[in-house]
Chains A and B, each alone.
Chain A
Amino acid sequence: MENRKENPKNILSKVLEVLSTMASKPSGLIGLSILFFHITLAITSPWFVPYDYKAIDPTLMLQAPSSEYWFGTDSLGRDVFTRTLLGGRIALTVTFFGSLIALLWGGLLGIFCGLVGGKIDDIVMRIVDAFLSIPWILAMLLIVSLLGTSIEVLIPALGFFYGKGIVRVARAATHDVIAKDFIASAKARGHSNMSIIWNEILPNVRDAILVEGAMRWSWMLLGFSSLSFLGFGVSPPTPDWGLMISNARGLMSFAWWSVISPIVGLSSLIIGINLTADAFAKALGIDRSTKAPV
């Protein structure tokens, strides 16, 4: 690993270079395409959905797919196509910002612990271990039961629970870097810890943390949808894939259309993010199979 501070590159050209490398492999191209498709859909779908997502109609209950209702209707007579198109918006928004929070606190705390070491590192890592031992779904249920299921609660809560693993990755990556001479030089020059983190360590562990963050994003998406499935994610009538699957699961044997569409939406997005994260890791030269233990 080298000190990239001495070879600064234009961020935009770096991004384009990474994207180009990612797209050069079929799996990377597929992953990027799926992700791009979902993000585009999430942003633009409110402008072209054919029906009101919350309009209930007893005369249209569980209609099979037709030229009028492409994906059929659900048990309240709502258009499944409309609700599927809109169903990923909240999930993408919540998990994207949740992942950013996880990256920020997990990454910075991990680097700090790796750098300072000693008792502070021990204490912080034991606290992180303690939190890692708590099943996240139970902790999340407790939080949403107490504070509600608004986005303002879900984003930081998910960000916190999914950031715990990043702390360990960032700390392990930092350990690889701090033995290098340029860190010793920076210390000898009297640089502060914050200066060393920002200027010396971060550029060298950034890629590992970003790849970990990308993977956490897909896990968080699955976690958020699990919460919605249990009824503790977004509140009705907001269309959400997890909630749609939950509502329609009992109808699967005779109204498959009401449950298939959100399943395809959710699983394709998770696959897309995973393929993208893998391609991202390869483009940055990180072998995820031999990365530091989490």
Chain B
Amino acid sequence: MKHIFKLISISLISLLVTFSAANASSGVFKLSHDLGFGKDTNLDAITKGRLFQVVIMTQNRLVRKDLKGVTSAELATDWSGNADATEWTFNLRKGVKFHDGSDFDAEDVKYSLMRVKDPDIGSPAKKSMSSVTDIEVIDSHTVKMKLNTSFADFPLLLTDYRLRMIPSGSGDTIGKTGIGTGPFIVDKFDPEGTTILKANPNYWEGAPGLAEVHVIAIPDGEARVQALLTGQIDMNRYVPFTQKKIFDGNSKFKTTVVPTGNWRGMVMRTDTAPFDNPKVRKAVRLAVDRQELVDLVMGGAATVACDTPVAPSDQYRLNMKCPQNIKKAKKLLKDAGYPDGIEMVIHVSTKEPTWPTIAEVMQQQLAKAGIKVEVKMTPSKSYWKETWMKKPVAMTRWNERPADSALHEIYHSGAKWNESFFKNPDFDKNLANARGELNFKKRRKAYRNAQKTLWEESGTMIPYHVSKLVVTSSKVKNLDEVEVFSVRWHKVKVD
């Protein structure tokens, strides 16, 4: 009898141990970042130098998009607006703790979101929060956000990848600590080397499947592909489609094509001659064969865009056709006072592997309209600091944002990241009208009118929205096949 009891006890203990081991965090997941902001790289999500590859794993938003792209609860459990959508009440998740052990509550929400508006911080996300005049703490887990205008899509705005919750009063240190409520805790922050994250065992959605995440700085795009091939990293979300064949049929890797609202493009500064003339800008845009770019650069895996930053799946996107029109481009150049065409230098770098190729293809396309292009390489490491928003013509890339955020943030005359220095009162007015319009159809019309203005006058040429080729090591399991900001990182495992 004694032996039987012993045997049962041992079996039960073994089962318990096996069960615990199966649910414990284990394995190291290695990924890379491009060190886009050099030494300014930090973990404060609302600053220009935010290292989003880390922030998305350590901090949560109030609202996120689910795997189908629908607005869903994250740290807010539910929300409601008043009749004219000028006040929004959010109920917050209870029992959630920050990595430093403190409780997440309404004061943290007020602090995290109101600091976005702080002029001293100069956050690029400031424009997204411009409509919020005050955040009232109703009780420890309820906040009311007051807007200066009706904004029917306000919860959608809060899905912005930068609007993350941090402990109240932690603004001075957040750039280094990265403290949040997310599934991973910053163990060592080394922006120019390897940043190490450890699993947060108390994560409110359950303990992560990984013990550690290593985020390694690799500035060059080609080097990142090689790092994946040699096993230095386990995931690369920026593999050019021309290199898909390297991984196809290789059992060591898994490739996934994820349609996104991310885009690559070329910026012409509207405050610099000859691009201060809208006719010149439109001539350049008309001379581009976008479908050819999609085929040559993306191997067909992209959706043609007519210079709108709004994602193909977004309800407010203006769908139009914009085929190459050399004759019209030449006429516009002539009308603008350039009958013999213009010369321009496109600044590129290998920070984004497709930039040089896009520029090289455009070089041939624009030549047909008398636009002589020189492609000039600039150093990857300092691209965002020294080239972007500095040179008259440079390449750019953006991640997907809700329509309102994208339009405000990149083109509004007061936006910090208005990369083309675009200023158009009609455009600004349309955006203001859209925000205040409660009728969906009218709101959509206003957003689309704004996009029409971009097609006519903007300084940014957006040829397509990319479908992303995500390549992971076959050891990586449970990675959601969605854009990076919707991935549920606590579910990822590495064998």
Contact = CB atoms under 8 A, between A and B. Distances in A.
Given A58-B296, A61-B296, A250-B243, A76 B361 contact: yes
Nearest to A248: B242
A250 B236 CA distance: 14
Given A251-B242, A254-B245, A237 B363 contact: yes
A145 B380 CA distance: 12
A183 B420 CA distance: 68
23 contacts: A55-B364, A56-B292, A58-B292, A58-B295, A58-B296, A61-B242, A76-B361, A149-B377, A230-B377, A231-B350, A232-B377, A235-B376, A235-B377, A236-B356, A236-B375, A237-B364, A250-B246, A250-B353, A251-B242, A251-B243, A251-B246, A254-B245, A254-B246
A54 interface: yes
* Secondary structure type dominating chain B contacts: helix
Given A77-B296, A250-B225, A149 B242 contact: no
Contact of A56 (B242, B364, B376, B377): B364
A228 to B, nearest CB: 10
Interface string A239-251: 0000000010111
B354 to A, nearest CB: 11
B378 A145 contact: yes
Contacts of B379: 141, 145
A75 interface: yes
Given A58-B292, A75-B242, 20 more contacts: A54-B364, A56-B292, A56-B364, A58-B295, A61-B295, A75-B357, A76-B360, A77-B296, A149-B376, A149-B377, A231-B348, A231-B377, A235-B376, A236-B359, A236-B360, A236-B363, A249-B222, A250-B246, A251-B242, A255-B245
A65 interface: no
A236 to B, nearest CB: 4
Interface of B: 222, 225, 240, 242-243, 245-246, 292, 295-296, 299, 348-350, 353, 356-357, 359-361, 363-364, 374-379
A148 interface: yes
Contacts of B356: 231, 236, 247
Contacts of B377: 149, 230-232, 235
Interface in A100-124: none
Contacts of B375: 235-236
A253 interface: yes
Nearest to B367: A54
Closest 9 pairs (CB-CB, A-B): A231-B377, A58-B295, A254-B245, A236-B360, A236-B375, A75-B242, A58-B296, A250-B243, A253-B246
A234 to B, nearest CB: 10
Contacts of A254: 245-246
A247 B354 CA distance: 11
Contacts of A249: 222
A1 B378 CA distance: 50
Nearest to B239: A250
Given A58-B295, A58-B296, A231-B356, A250 B242 contact: yes
A61 B353 CA distance: 17
A253 B364 CA distance: 28
Nearest to A231: B377
Contacts of A75: 242, 296, 357
A230 to B, nearest CB: 7
A77 B363 CA distance: 15
B324 to A, nearest CB: 13
B243 to A, nearest CB: 5
Contacts of B353: 250
Contacts of A145: 378-379
Nearest to A76: B296
Contacts of B363: 236-237
Contacts of A148: 376
Nearest to A233: B377
A13 B348 CA distance: 52
Given A75-B357, A230-B377, A56 B296 contact: yes
Given A145-B379, A149-B376, A236-B375, A76 B357 contact: yes
B360 A237 contact: yes
Of listed B225, B353, B379, residue having the most chain A CB within 10 A: B379
Contacts of A251: 242-243, 245-246
A247 B359 CA distance: 13
Contacts of B245: 251, 253-255
A250 B292 contact: no
Nearest to B365: A56
Contacts of A231: 348-350, 356, 377
A60 B242 CA distance: 13
Nearest to B382: A145
A253 B349 CA distance: 24
A35 B245 CA distance: 37
Contacts of B246: 250-251, 253-254
Nearest to A55: B364
Interface string A37-79: 0000000000000000011101001100000000000011100
A145 to B, nearest CB: 7
Contacts of B350: 231
Nearest to B229: A253
Contacts of A77: 296
